[in-house]
Amino acid sequence: MASSASLSPLDSARKKAFWRLLPILFVSYLIAYIDRNNVAVAKLNMRDDLPWFDEAVFGLGTGLFFWGYFLLEIPGSLMVEKWSARKWICRIMVTWGIIAALTAAVTTKYEYYTVRFFLGLAEAGFFPGVIVYLTHWFPRRDRGRALSIFLVATPAAQVINPLVARLILPIGSTKMVDGVAVSQPELWGLEGWQWLYIMWGIPAVVLGVIVLFFLTDRPHQAKWLTAEEREALESELERERAETRKGKRMTILEAFSHPKVLLLTLAYFCVVTCSYGMEYFMPSIIKEWYAMDIKQLMLFIILPPTVALLAQLAGGWSSDHFKERRFHAVVPLVIGACAIFALPLTKGNVWVTVGLMMVGFAGFKGYMPAFWSLPSIFLVEAAAASSIGLINSVGNLGGFWGSYLMGKSRHDTGSYDLGLTYLSASMLCSAIIIFFLGLGKKETRSP
């Protein structure tokens, strides 16, 4: 790799932006994803203290998060485009950290529903806001790689949280050891599942303050770039925006009704239905099929997101390297859908079950860097920001449907099999839509 002194102003600015911005965004999303999905792990012990917390309540409550998310998602992405990314992201992180910690205080199912809904409201705008923010800083040639580094926070969160949870969840619990009940005392009157919510809510508040001081909204405001670097990066980004603007310029309302935006929204809804249905219920599926204790289970459930982490990094690098987006989104989805469809056939062999879960996770995580590069191919500025918000907000309602469906099918049929079949079919539908949409074919021109 060339030394910093030998780089052009543009390449030097690109390098500095990676090292300055992406670590902060990565850690912020990691904490956000842990706070959002913490309930999947905490659930394993919550039922011991909350008899009303059955599969149907869990599925509906986790899904209500996405309705709160839906309401403020588009305004949030526009705030980043029109106002300030750092101030808006700071607000988001402080409020979601407080609400995430309050989950420890729920005593009824309606309190659980309420806190999940307001957690969605608090976090709304973070993800699409960051996607928009990356277009303010990273040229098209870097966007897939930048997205993959940011998005890899989600499988990283799913690896880190179980490792922490296996130490914290036993607090206040009782288990049988050689026929003898062994209890671990509470800590300050709270159970392990309550501490899990509290300890992950606090870092979000702290990070919100860090974001306010360390993120920079636009390259021309970056004091940590030289004048030449600021000018070179702004010029490159403006050149790309001008290329995309060629032809008819779209308003926000026109973008909302654009067939490609609507189809991308449907595709995202389908794959999110599968991804959250799997993520929220994977610990419960493994525990039910193989009757593991908490500590052993936590080690198994980190394996699928570990593979997904590698798949996202590889997908982002490969998509940028080959300048191709469509097949980099479609192929992982098809392979992952097949793996999830086959899961019910593996009962009785934990390693085959977890192996297929690894493939499934790699599919619905590995497609993301290529997928989120698609809107900026034909949209810019406010139309792009609002469309990304639309795709993410409406698409994330699939998280409600996937969670509700899995909980309801398990409650009504006593099995996860029907739910898994539906999740697989939904993921395959997403792949078909993206393939026939035709966006993201291999570029033939130089960047």
**Domains of the chain, each with CATH number or no CATH:** 13-437 (1.20.1250.20)
Whether pLDDT at 349 is above 80:
yes
- Neighbouring C-beta atoms of residue 258, cutoff 10 Å: 18
268-297: average pLDDT: 90
Whether pLDDT at 181 is above 80:
no
Which residue, 181, 139, 198, is CA-closest to 17?
Answer: 139
pLDDT higher for 341 or 175?
341
Whether pLDDT at 275 is above 90:
yes
Q: Calculate the average pLDDT of the chain.
A: 86
Could you tell me the end-to-end alpha-carbon distance of the chain, in angstroms, rounded to an integer? 20
Give the burial string for 331-369 (b: 16+ CB within 10 Å, else e).
bbbbbbbbbbbbbbebbeeeeebbbbbbbbbbbbbbbbb
pLDDT interval class at 84 (50, 70, 90): confident
* Residue 5 per-residue DSSP state: G
CA 307 – CA 355 distance, rounded (Å): 10
Whether pLDDT at 66 is above 80:
yes
pLDDT interval class at 389 (50, 70, 90): confident
Specify the pLDDT at position 203: 92
pLDDT interval class at 5 (50, 70, 90): low
Which stretch of 36-45, 298-307, 417-426 has the lowest confidence by average pLDDT? 36-45
The total number of residues shown for the chain amounts to 447
- pTM of the predicted model as reported, rounded to 2 decimal places: 0.77
State whether residue 258 is helix, strand or coil: coil
Residue located via tokens 């904490």? 31
CA 354 – CA 350 distance, rounded (Å): 6
32-55: average pLDDT: 86
Whether pLDDT at 381 is above 70:
no
pLDDT per residue as tens digits for the range 350-372: 999 999 999 999 999 899 888 98
pLDDT per residue as tens digits for the range 204-222: 999 999 998 888 989 989 9
**174-177 and 180-183 strand pairing:** antiparallel
Whether pLDDT at 248 is above 60:
no
Which residue, 272, 323, 307, is CA-closest to 433?
Answer: 272
CA 69 – CA 65 distance, rounded (Å): 6
74-100: average pLDDT: 84
428-440: average pLDDT: 91
Dig out the tokens for 248 from the structure: 């008819």
Whether pLDDT at 446 is above 70:
no
Q: Which of 67-71, 91-95, 185-189, 385-389 has the highest mean pLDDT?
A: 91-95
Specify the pLDDT at position 384: 67
**318 conformational bin, left if phi > 0, alpha if psi -120 to 50, beta if neither:** alpha
Specify the pLDDT at position 340: 97
**Percent of the chain surpassing pLDDT 90:** 38
pLDDT interval class at 148 (50, 70, 90): confident
- Dihedral sign for Cα 235, 237, 242, 243, please: positive
256-272: average pLDDT: 90
Are the CB atoms for 148 and 308 separated by under 8 Å? no
Are the CB atoms for 119 and 96 separated by under 8 Å? yes
pLDDT interval class at 445 (50, 70, 90): very low
CA 153 – CA 44 distance, rounded (Å): 23
State whether residue 444 is helix, strand or coil: coil
CA 88 – CA 95 distance, rounded (Å): 11
Torsions phi, psi for 152 (to 5 deg): -70, -10
pLDDT interval class at 174 (50, 70, 90): low
Helix and strand element counts for the chain (H, E): 20, 2
CA 246 – CA 90 distance, rounded (Å): 35
CA 235 – CA 421 distance, rounded (Å): 49
Cα–Cα separations (whole angstroms), residue 141 to 75, 366, 436: 28, 18, 24
pLDDT interval class at 136 (50, 70, 90): confident
Are the CB atoms for 159 and 306 separated by under 8 Å? yes
For residue 35, the surrounding DSSP H or E stretch is helix 9-49
- Give the 3-state DSSP-derived string for 215-249, with helices as H, strands as E and coil as C: CCCCHHHCCCCCHHHHHHHHHHHHHHHHHHHCCCC
